[in-house]
Amino acid sequence: MKRAKGDKDPARWEPADDSADCRYAAEWAAVKGRWKPAVDADEPAALRNLVAERPAEEITYESAR
């Protein structure tokens, strides 16, 4: 699975197993929150779509900067 994903963001890749969508989105958002890398224009909508069925998912992270 990792080879197929590469460094693609949620707008260009999502887990094959739908049950992993929310965890993937939460982990992606936590990395973005911690390290503050750039967010491209398509990422926010893709993340919202991934977590649409689980709106109560909590994302926690500690800022690295």
What does pTM read for this prediction?
0.75
* Per-residue model confidence (pLDDT) at position 45: 92
Mean pLDDT estimate for the chain: 84
* Per-residue model confidence (pLDDT) at position 22: 85
Of residues 50 and 12, more confidence is placed in 12
Across residues 30-52, what is the average pLDDT? 89
Q: Residue 3: pLDDT band by 50, 70, 90 thresholds?
A: low
- 17's CB contacts (< 8 A; 6+ apart) are none
**Contact of 21 with 51, CB cutoff 8 Å:** yes
